[in-house]
Amino acid sequence: MKLSVIGCGYLGAVHAASMASIGHDVVGIDIDAGKIDDLSRGVAPFFEPGLTEILSEGIASGRLSFTTEIAAAAGAAVHFIGVGTPQQKDGYAADLTFVDEAIDALLPSLTPGDIVAGKSTVPVGTASMRAGRVEATGATLVWNPEFLREGWAVQDTIDPDRLVVGVPATSAGERAAEVLRKVYHPAVSKGTPFIVTDFATAELVKVAANAFLATKISFINAMAEIAEVTGADVTLLADAIGHDERIGRRFLGAGIGFGGGCLPKDIRAFSARAEELGRGESVNFLREMDTINLRRRERAVSLVVDALDGSVFGSSITVLGAAFKPHSDDIRDSPGLDVAVRLRGLGANVTVTDPAAVENARRVHPQLTYAQDRDTALRGADAVVLVTEWDEYRRQLSPDHAASLTRGRVIVDGRNALDPAAWRAAGWSYYGMGRP
Ligand code: UDX
């Protein structure tokens, strides 16, 4: 099928390349000429495993192209909208400017029977308020939220857990759902659940999923806070409750908490939308989840301060990690970088390293010192703080090797990713999050 994808940021670029890789003819469109230039040459504008390969394959096969011309969307059967919905500058609500601009720009290229499929994460109510504008051209608007995780984005797009499509309750809506089923045929034919809903349910599935994940993380971090005053070990606690199938062990990793471009923004936008709907109290707990999450960063900082006898002023501290999670160069709302910035604010000399995110971090936080490689970063440190659990730190860094480089023997494990016994045996003072 011929498809267009409007917005070639994280979501759109991955979606365009993935749709070409399953056999569709795809044009990706974005107003950022620099991004389009990179993508047209097969260069991914961000780090995402597997993306470069499918970009190059798609371009070489002639099935994938990129342009700044919105008119190139004409003739596509389905137009995906994958633009950003950032947090508003003066509040928690989502800013829908890019969604509206994309729909308006697309309108002249639409012909009767076309489908406009929103993929961006939007507040519940967004699609129904925009359906009329699209329907006036004879096209149909549907909402098809995306659940991809950074670092697994290509796999999550080609082989998702489930597909959700919100459609209007009309025959055009029914037809649109069938067309989307064909678009995703390779996944659907393998048995991937394909769930057709109304607009509001589809929009809510996305924010509810993210709210649930954020809640799970903050729940275990709340247990970590209790563990800290009782001598319990939150990692054993998580293992034990995780054996209950109803609970499950995934997303019970206690540490410095969640960050990134989605979970923090989405739970705040959800709270703001619930307030607008007069149901703020239904999701009051999400504000608490946000607060617990931010408190864990302070906890990591105070562990370092206490370990260095009450002051970090003038100490050399190495921060292992900058990305908000491994397999990503994304530093948006990175808990680890926040910890680094706070330690710098207390007068420490902070050196940050990360296998993928140093350049991004340097642009946003030029006051920190950066090292391209781990061992250079560790040399002469009084204390080490692990904030992103890359394998390079978690599996490939032996405590003896680290001790041969650093001056001090203090390690704060902000992700509970290391083996405390091994580090202590090598002479380190090990501090975890919610561990004795
Ligand atoms: C998330 C959702 O997982 C995805 O389905 C949605 O489409 C977008 O938001 P992503 O932001 O890529 O994806 O990252 P995710 O893997 O969910 O991690 C989010 C944050 O939670 C990271 O900072 C991670 O370090 C943290 N986290 C995750 C924990 O602190 N503990 C855990 O147990 C799991």
* pLDDT tens per residue, range 250-303: 999 999 999 999 999 999 999 999 999 999 999 999 999 999 999 999 999 999
Report d(CA 117, CA 178) in Å as an integer.
13
Please indicate whether residue 252, judged by its CB atom, sits closer than 6 Å to ligand 1. Answer: yes
Give, using CA atoms, the residue closest to atom 22 of ligand 1: 258
Residue pair 166/201 in contact (Cβ under 8 Å)? The answer is: yes
The ipTM estimated for the assembled molecules is 0.98
Give, using CA atoms, the residue closest to atom 15 of ligand 1: 149
Residue 202 lies in a domain: no
Q: Using CB atoms within 10 A of its CB, is residue 183 exposed (0-12), middle (13-18) or buried (19+)?
A: buried
For residues 283 and 336, membership in a common domain is answered with: no
Quote the ligand 1 centre to 77 CA distance (angstroms): 33
Quote the ligand 1 centre to 258 CA distance (angstroms): 6
Quote the ligand 1 centre to 430 CA distance (angstroms): 25
pLDDT score for 394: 98
Q: Using CB atoms within 10 A of its CB, is residue 227 exposed (0-12), middle (13-18) or buried (19+)?
A: buried
Residue 180 lies in a domain: yes
Residue 367 lies in a domain: yes
Mean pLDDT confidence for 418-427:
98
Ligand 1: atom nearest CA of 334 is: 23
* Calculated CA dihedral for residues 70, 72, 77, 80, nearest 10 degrees: -40
User: What's the mean per-residue pLDDT of the chain?
Assistant: 97
The CATH number of whichever domain residue 261 belongs to comes to: 1.10.1040.10
Sign of the Cα pseudo-torsion (311, 314, 318, 323, in order): positive
Please indicate whether residue 262, judged by its CB atom, sits closer than 6 Å to ligand 1. Answer: yes
Residue 382 lies in a domain: yes
Of 251, 274, 290, which marks where a domain is finished? 290
Instruction: Give all strands of the β-sheet with 78-81 in edge-to-edge order.
Output: 64-67, 25-29, 2-6, 78-81, 115-118, 140-143, 163-166, 194-197
For residues 18 and 160, membership in a common domain is answered with: yes
Quote the ligand 1 centre to 263 CA distance (angstroms): 7
For residues 241 and 275, membership in a common domain is answered with: yes
pLDDT score for 89: 86
For residues 285 and 310, membership in a common domain is answered with: no
For residues 226 and 262, membership in a common domain is answered with: yes
Q: How many domains does the chain have?
A: 3
Of 143, 165, 197, which marks where a domain is finished? 197
For residues 130 and 108, membership in a common domain is answered with: yes
Determine which one of 17, 54, 153, 262 is catalytic: 262
Please indicate whether residue 147, judged by its CB atom, sits closer than 6 Å to ligand 1. Answer: yes
Residue 269 lies in a domain: yes
Q: Report residue 62: phi and psi, to 5°.
A: 85, 0
Residue 436 lies in a domain: no
pLDDT score for 90: 85
For residues 315 and 416, membership in a common domain is answered with: yes
Give, using CA atoms, the residue closest to atom 21 of ligand 1: 258
For residues 28 and 148, membership in a common domain is answered with: yes
Quote the ligand 1 centre to 66 CA distance (angstroms): 29
For residues 334 and 285, membership in a common domain is answered with: no
For residues 32 and 56, membership in a common domain is answered with: yes
Please indicate whether residue 259, judged by its CB atom, sits closer than 6 Å to ligand 1. Answer: yes
Report d(CA 264, CA 160) in Å as an integer.
22
pLDDT score for 273: 96
pLDDT score for 414: 98
pLDDT in tens, 174-208: 999 999 999 999 999 999 999 999 999 999 999 99
pLDDT in tens, 56-107: 999 999 999 999 999 999 999 999 999 999 989 888 999 999 999 999 999 9
Residue 379 lies in a domain: yes
Quote the domain boundaries for residue 313: 296-431
Ligand 1: atom nearest CA of 256 is: 30
Please indicate whether residue 194, judged by its CB atom, sits closer than 6 Å to ligand 1. Answer: no
Please indicate whether residue 326, judged by its CB atom, sits closer than 6 Å to ligand 1. Answer: no
Please indicate whether residue 355, judged by its CB atom, sits closer than 6 Å to ligand 1. Answer: no
pLDDT in tens, 363-414: 999 999 999 999 999 999 999 999 999 999 999 999 999 999 999 999 999 9
For residues 67 and 213, membership in a common domain is answered with: no
Give, using CA atoms, the residue closest to atom 34 of ligand 1: 251
Give, using CA atoms, the residue closest to atom 9 of ligand 1: 262
Among residues of the chain, what percentage have pLDDT more than 90? 99
- From residue 91, give the alpha-carbon distance in Å to each of 87, 269, 347: 7, 9, 31
Of 145, 164, 197, which marks where a domain is finished? 197
Please indicate whether residue 164, judged by its CB atom, sits closer than 6 Å to ligand 1. Answer: no
Quote the ligand 1 centre to 407 CA distance (angstroms): 34
Nearest alpha-carbon partner for 216 in 260, 261, 172, 246: 246
Question: Ligand 1, from 213, 268, 320: best to mutate by most atoms within 8 Å of Cβ?
Answer: 213
Question: Ligand 1, from 46, 154, 217, 223: best to mutate by most atoms within 8 Å of Cβ?
Answer: 217
For residues 154 and 137, membership in a common domain is answered with: yes
The CATH number of whichever domain residue 399 belongs to comes to: 3.40.50.720
Residue 55 lies in a domain: yes
Based on the residue annotation, tell me whether 8 is a catalytic residue of this protein: no
CB atoms within 10 A of CB 338: 22
Please indicate whether residue 234, judged by its CB atom, sits closer than 6 Å to ligand 1. Answer: no
Ligand 1: atom nearest CA of 148 is: 7
* Calculated CA dihedral for residues 310, 311, 317, 319, nearest 10 degrees: 60
Give, using CA atoms, the residue closest to atom 17 of ligand 1: 149
